[in-house]
Structures are given as C-alpha cells and as structure tokens.
Amino acid sequence: MSTILFWFRNDLRLHDQPALQAALQRAQGDGTPRLLPVFCLPAEDEVSPWGFARAGRHRQAFHSATLQDLGDRLAALGSPLLVCRAAPGQALPALARAVGAEAVVCEEIAAPEEEAQVAALQAAGLRVQTVWQSSLLDPAALPWPTAGLPGVFTTFRQALERAGIAPAAPLPAPTQLPAPPEVPAEVLQAVGAGQGGALDADAASAGGQDPRSSFPYGMPASQGGEGAGLAHWAQYLARKLPHSYKATRNGLSGVDFSSKLSPWLATGALSPRRVLADLKAFEGEHGANEGSYWLWFELLWRDYFRLLHLQHGAQLHRGRGLSKAPLAPHDAQGFELWRHGCTGEPLVDAAMRELAATGYLSNRLRQVAASYLIHDLQGDWRAGAAWFESQLVDYDVYSNQGNWLYIAGRGTDPRGGRRFDPAKQAREHDPDGRYRRLWGTA
Ligand SMILES: Cc1cc2nc3c(=O)[nH]c(=O)nc-3n(C[C@H](O)[C@H](O)[C@H](O)COP(=O)(O)OP(=O)(O)OC[C@H]3O[C@@H](n4cnc5c(N)ncnc54)[C@H](O)[C@@H]3O)c2cc1C
C-alpha cells in the first residue's frame, strides 16, 4: 500500500495542480492507494522584523475563504483537508510516521523560508518530492538555463516571443481521490488538526466590503477560492474586458480598470496556465488586440520575477539585493508616517490609506508609494515590502520582492531604480483629484 502526504502550500486549488497529479501517480504503487491532503496554517500572531503582523486582517480573511473553498472541494471528493495549527516541520513528520507515508509531495517554492521548510522535513528523515508549477512557462522549456536568464525584462520577453515559447495546456482537476488513511486521535491532537479551512470569524468580519474598494473581497464575487476565481475570470472574458485592458490598466480606482486576477493567482486558486488558455480561446473567438496582448505581457512579468528567484534565490532577500551599493540608514519615523498615510504627500497618503482600508492597491499606486518610501523618504525597501506583505490580499513573495527591488534599483535591471514624481503622477492619473478626495487627502 502506498500512502502519500500531499502538502498544500501556496497553490490552493484542484485544477492544473501538477504536484497533486504527481502525488496521485505515486500513490498508485502496490496495493490500495492512500492520500492525505494537509495544510499547515501559518502562525496568526507572527510579527515581522518591522514590528507589525506578517499577515494583516485582509490577507488573513481572504486566505481563510480560499482555504474554506479548497476544504469544501476536497470533502466533496471524499478526501477532507487536514488543517494543522503547527509548523510543517513539526506536523508533517508526525503525520507521516503515524500513517506510514512513503513520501511527502508538494509544490516547489523558490524562496528562502519555504526552502528551509523542505530542508527541515528532509532533515527529519522524510522523502520529499517537490514539483515546480508556479510559473506560466516551464523553466526547462526556455531558451536559457536558469543561470543564464537575461537581466532585462524586455530582452527576456522578446526572446520568448521570437522563439514562440508557449506554456503547456492546463491539467484538469481530479474527479476522484484515494481515501485518506486513518490518523490516530492523539496525533491529530498533537498537530492541532481540524478539518476544512476553518474561517476565523474575526478575520471574516474584518472588512472587504468598503464601498470605495477596488477589490471588495468580502462580497461573494470577489471572495477567496477557486470557485470565485474561475467565475470572476469567466465574467471578465464574457464582458470582453481583455480588449480594453491596455487602455484602462493604469486606473487608480474601480473594479474593472484591471483584471483583478492577482488575489486568486497569488493564492494559487487560479492557475496562470488556465488563465492563458482561456485568454487564447477568447482571442480565437473574439479577436486579439493590444489589450488582450498586454495581459500576456503582464503575466510574463509575473513569470520573470519567479524565474529570477530560481536564478538568484536568497540574494534577492538581502538589503543590498543584487546591487553593490550599501543601504542608506532607514528613517523609521518617515516609514511610520508612510504606512499610516500621513506623509503630507496627498497621492501617496491616499494610496496608503486605501491599502490599509481594503487590502488592495492599483499597480500604478504601488509604484508611486514604493518609490516615495525609497527615493523620497530614504526608507529601507525591505520595510516597505514587509508592509505590503502584511496588507495585500494578493501578496506573492516573488512579485512583491521583485517589484520592490526593481523600484529600488537593486534587482537585475541596470537602470538604477525608478523614481515616480507624485505630483506628476497625480496630474496624469488623478487630474481632477477624485481619487485623493475619495481617501480624504485633497
Ligand atoms: C511595489 C509593488 C509590489 C507588488 N506586489 C505584488 C504582490 O505582492 N503580488 C502581486 O500579485 N503583484 C504585486 N505587484 C504587481 C502588480 O501591482 C499587481 O499584480 C497588480 O496590480 C494586480 O492587479 P490585477 O490583477 O488587476 O493586475 P492586472 O493589471 O490585471 O495584471 C494581470 C496580472 O498580471 C500580473 N502582473 C501585473 N503586473 C505585474 C507586475 N508588475 N509584476 C508581477 N506581476 C504582474 C499579475 O499576476 C496580475 O494579476 C506589485 C507591484 C509593485 C509596484
């Protein structure tokens, strides 16, 4: 009998889940296959080195809903999700021993903390199979080895487009799962286990219904989970919004100015390959234009930051990043004013108030706010990245780290940082002051 622990990590979905497919294949060894789907909740009270919660109320609420949806889907297939209130390094070895698991199978995450988690499991004597699935494109299908990835995004994109590199088709969700093995009650207790994604009532009531929100995650259409994510994408396509995407994507406020795929992509509730396959089908039916092309362009940015992590790993998490320039001393007081939306710069303050109130911010305002902290307030970019991690419902380690490094001029791009002049940005993107008035700064 082959028993496999399937460890859900970032990607909380059943469709296009290559790691889950690998686990199912592995469970089909001799005898009766058994599969135990497990998720380890991160500690809710973890505090970042900058002195605030690592996952704030918006992110916790969106994540809880995502987990709930996954739990329901697995339960419907007869294989309930075991949710543990313990670190993976504690919970998984105990569970694996208790059920005689042959291996732990999970997705690969190329970020330092997540790599340390896998190393801890291996050190505890577990066999761990990791499967890379987080990018649209398979790193092995690229024209370069990971170590030779171009340092400039445009070079990367143009080479891919010239070579006609396309992702593999998304995999369907499994229609049945092997029954889970019995776990002794004392082991369940030791790993703090419950079943399904228990929705924390405080987190659920934390917000997400602010009428000013561009992503009201407390409303059914924007809630966490594969079901809502697929439905959101289907309605975006049905309303032919990809055609107008390029013209509207730099908007500051509203539910339709950009695709709003990020919260579901970031939690892995939606697969990028599924998104692209649907986009291609849309183009086949309704025609391609600059707008639909630009969605692919932005999804490539997402891939690029993932691949940079495969290439440079922990170096992207140092203060210096990939640059040799030392860090200026961090202005802690300026940082506090920034994160509370009290710098006196109206566009930046409005953005920071929106972020804290809703957990979402447009791309344009993320750029303006990050640039202001780094280039005007001389703040440490890592503090800003940590605040975004805490607040964003679409927090994603690769995209967050990559964008902050890019604006700080500490990534691969040799252009030495990007400063956005807030007054100019306000003139261009908020000429009548509507956005600043919405958030009480004009
Ligand atoms: C400082 C800073 C921090 C950021 N942190 C995150 C983060 O933690 N998580 C996150 O998903 N995105 C992050 N972004 C990228 C971008 O702002 C968001 O992906 C985008 O605003 C999400 O809204 P959307 O889905 O409507 O985007 P759309 O404009 O509709 O784009 C479609 C998709 O393309 C991808 N994408 C678009 N722009 C970028 C980009 N610059 N970098 C990487 N992928 C991109 C996203 O997956 C997005 O969902 C950050 C940007 C900046 C400047």
Does residue 249's CB lie within 6 angstroms of at least one atom of ligand 1?
Answer: yes
**Which residue's C-alpha comes closest to atom 12 of ligand 1?**
399
* Residue 224 pLDDT class (50, 70, 90 cuts): very high
Domain count, the chain: 3
Q: Is 69 within the bounds of a domain? A: yes
Under DSSP, the state recorded for 140 is G
Q: How far is the CA of 325 from the centre of ligand 1 (A)?
A: 27
- Per-residue pLDDT band for 1 (boundaries 50, 70, 90) equals low
Q: pLDDT tens, 17-68?
A: 999 999 999 999 767 899 999 999 998 889 999 999 999 999 999 999 999 9
Residue in 134, 399, 405, 419 to alter for ligand 1 test, most ligand atoms within 8 A of Cβ = 399
The pLDDT value given to residue 423 = 97
Tell me the pLDDT band of 203, cut-offs 50, 70 and 90.
Answer: very low
Q: What angle do CA 332, 337, 342 make, to 5 degrees?
A: 170
The CATH number that applies at residue 384 is 1.10.579.10
- Check if 394 has its Cβ closer than 6 Å to any atom of ligand 1: yes
**Does 265 appear as a known binding residue?**
no
Instruction: Please indicate, yes or no, whether residues 334 and 406 belong to a single structural domain of this protein.
Output: yes
Residue 207: inside a domain: no
- The answer to whether residue 175 is domain-embedded is no
Domain assignment present for residue 263? The answer is yes
User: Residues 431, 250: contact at Cβ < 8 Å?
Assistant: no
Q: Which of 313, 338, 358 is the last residue of a domain?
A: 313
Query: N- to C-terminal Cα distance for the chain?
Result: 67
Kindly give the residue spans of alpha helices, DSSP state H, lying in 191-323.
201-204, 226-238, 245-248, 262-266, 272-286, 290-312
Question: How confident is residue 194, by pLDDT bands cut at 50, 70 and 90?
Answer: confident
* Model confidence, pTM: 0.97
Dist CA 389 CA 137 (whole Å): 25
Question: Is residue 205 scored above 70 in pLDDT?
Answer: no
Say whether both 263 and 365 belong to one domain.
no
Alpha helices (H) in 14-141, listed in sequence order: 18-27, 57-76, 88-99, 112-123
Separation of 393 CA from ligand 1 center, angstroms?
A: 11
328 shares its domain with 431:
yes
Residue 99's nearest CA partner among 14, 181, 160 is 181
Same domain? 282 vs 357: no
Max alpha carbon distance in the chain (Å)? 69
Q: Is residue 347 part of a domain?
A: yes
> Could you read off the pLDDT of 320-344 as tens digits, one per residue?
999 998 888 899 999 999 999 999 9
Q: Is 324 found in the same domain as 273?
A: no
Name the residue at shortest CA distance from atom 4 of ligand 1: 400
Ligand 1 atom 5: residue of nearest CA: 400
Q: Can you give the pLDDT at residue 312? A: 97
CB contact at 8 A, 38 and 192: no
Task: Determine the atom of ligand 1 nearest the C-alpha atom of 389.
Answer: 8
Same domain, 146 and 258: yes
Q: What is the pLDDT of residue 320?
A: 94
Would you say 245 is a known binding-site residue?
A: yes
Q: Residue 370 and residue 403: Cα distance in Å, rounded?
A: 9
pLDDT at position 43, please? 86
Q: Measuring from atom 53 of ligand 1, which residue has the nearest CA?
A: 367
Residue 305, marked binder = yes
Pocket test for ligand 1, best of 249, 403, 413, 418 (most atoms within 8 A of CB): 403
What's the gap in Å between 263 CA and the centre of ligand 1?
9
pLDDT tens, 152-170?
A: 999 999 999 999 999 999 9
- Measured in angstroms, how far is the CA atom of residue 344 from the centroid of ligand 1? 26
Q: Which atom of ligand 1 is nearest to the CA of 262?
A: 49
Say which CATH number the domain at 262 has.
1.25.40.80
Domain membership of residue 212 (yes or no) is no
CATH at 44: 3.40.50.620
Q: For 374, which DSSP code? A: I
Q: Is the pLDDT of residue 197 over 60?
A: no
Domain co-membership, 81 together with 9: yes
- What is the position in ligand 1's atom list of the atom closest to the CA of 245? 30
Distance (Å) from CA 258 to ligand 1 centroid: 10
**Does one domain contain both 7 and 77?**
yes
pLDDT band at 201 (very low <50, low <70, confident <90, very high): very low
Answer whether 40's CB lies under 8 Å from 46's CB: no
Residues 55 and 146 in one domain: no
Asked if 279 and 296 count as a contact pair (C-beta separation under 8 A), the reply is yes
Q: Is the CB of 109 under 6 A from ligand 1?
A: no
Token look-up 């419950």 returns 194
Ligand 1 pocket: which of 394, 396, 401 to mutate (most atoms <8 Å of CB)?
394
CB 33 within 8 A of CB 178: yes
Domain assignment of residue 204, yes or no:
no
Examine the domain organization and report whether 79 and 147 are in the same domain: no
Range of the domain at 124: 1-134
List all residues 6 or more positions away from 315 whose beta carbon is below 8 Å from its beta carbon.
Answer: 321, 322
Final residue of a domain: which of 263, 296, 313?
313
